Amino acid sequence: MDIRFAHIILSFCLMIFVSNPVWSQENRDYHLAPDDELSVDVFDEPDLSLDNVRVSSTGTISMPLLGQIKVDGLTVTELEKKIHDLYLGDYLKKPNISVSITTYRQFYVDGEVNKPGGYSYREGLTVQRAIALAGGFTERAARNKISIVKESTGQTINAVEMSYRVSPGDVITVSESFF
């Protein structure tokens, strides 16, 4: 009976470990920008840790003892290393830093939707879900003329599919139909 229970627990842990890299890979490649909200945990140093700090419009956060540090364009892993290196030596002997994104910056939907505007990003967001959040199409919407401006590259992609993945900061535009 104990072996069976241990097998179930081990299987459950393995399932979580195997399914987690998909999200982790997406999160690892994400580049921070203004309006992202972060939590920074400095292990065993609660006075140096931060909860829900927003990246400023200049792309910085203020860390205890370090002051303003530039985070714009960094991945979470790069930021963890940067904070580690800044605390190492002068302040801490073995800093253990963990950074997590608590709130992503908004994405935007405009054009022929019922409620154009900015919306909170969610993991796995698609164009279809983004349009649903914006109240759906208006009567004049051209459902096959949807474009997206990718914040990460500035590139405009025309005629995107409804299953196209949306990222924080992206701008989705639904064109007007002539018929």
pLDDT of 22 strictly over 80? no
Q: What is residue 144's three-state secondary structure?
A: strand
Tell me: the pLDDT tens digits for 114-167?
999 999 998 899 999 999 999 999 999 999 999 999 998 899 999 999 999 999
pLDDT of 11 strictly over 80? no
Please state, in angstroms and rounded to a whole number, the distance separating the CA atoms of residues 88 and 103: 28
Tell me: the pLDDT tens digits for 62-83?
999 999 999 999 999 999 999 9
Amino acid at 119: Y
- The per-residue pLDDT for 178 is 81
Are the C-beta atoms of 119 and 109 separated by less than 8 Å?
Answer: yes
- The per-residue pLDDT for 29 is 78
- The per-residue pLDDT for 118 is 96
> What six digits make up the tokens of 19?
């399914």
Task: Give the whole-number percent of the chain exceeding pLDDT 70.
Answer: 84
Please state, in angstroms and rounded to a whole number, the distance separating the CA atoms of residues 82 and 74: 9
DSSP per position, 3-19: HHHHHHHHHHHHHHHHH
**CA nearest to 121, candidates 33, 25, 62:** 33
pLDDT confidence band for 13 (50 / 70 / 90): very low
The mean pLDDT value of the chain amounts to 87
Mean of pLDDT values over 49-58: 96
pLDDT of 16 strictly over 50? no
Cα dihedral 118, 153, 30, 108 in deg (nearest 10) = 10
pLDDT confidence band for 9 (50 / 70 / 90): low
pLDDT confidence band for 15 (50 / 70 / 90): very low
- The per-residue pLDDT for 19 is 38
Are the C-beta atoms of 63 and 38 separated by less than 8 Å?
Answer: no
Residues paired with 119 in a beta bridge: 107
Q: What is the CA radius of gyration of the chain?
A: 21
Q: What is residue 132's three-state secondary structure?
A: helix
Q: Which residue has the tokens 């982790």?
A: 24
